[in-house]
Amino acid sequence: MKLLIVTFVKEFQKDVLQLLKKANIHNYSGSDIEGFKNASPFMMNSSWFPSEKGGEDSIMFFSFTEEREIDDFFKLVVEYNKKVNTNNPIHAIVVPIERSI
């Protein structure tokens, strides 16, 4: 069993849900997050409106799943990212699980 973590901009949520379904990953959790690119400290502090949000509305999904499904999901994401013209592709990582209860 491994931990799959996927991050993406909110606009891709419907597509990511379809990719998870195609890879037979049906159990996952998610959270809204704010994504940032490498912004300089000057740019982050120079806002005219300090309460103004500076990041992209993003989502993070994570799932404890088997390697076979993760391999299928990665293949689908690679193909998806090739077709989408964006500076914010879908990102995915895998973390091995040493122990679980």
- Report the b/e string of 33-63 with b at 16+ CB within 10 A: eebeeeeeeeeeeeeeeeeeeeebebbebbb
Could you tell me the residue ranges of all domains in the chain?
2-37+55-96
**Its pTM surpasses 0.85:** no
Residues facing 61 on adjacent strands: 6, 30
CATH assignment of 2-37+55-96? Answer: 3.30.70.120
Q: Greater confidence, 51 or 97? A: 97
Q: Mind listing the pLDDT tens digit for each residue in 57-87?
A: 899 999 999 999 999 999 999 999 999 998 8
Rounded distance between C-alpha atoms, residue 40 and residue 56, angstroms = 16
Could you report the per-residue pLDDT of 4-53, keeping only the tens digit for each? 999 999 999 999 999 999 999 999 999 999 877 765 555 455 555 555 55
Alpha-carbon separation of residue 77 from 21, 70, 86, 90 (angstroms)? 12, 10, 14, 7
pLDDT value for 25: 97
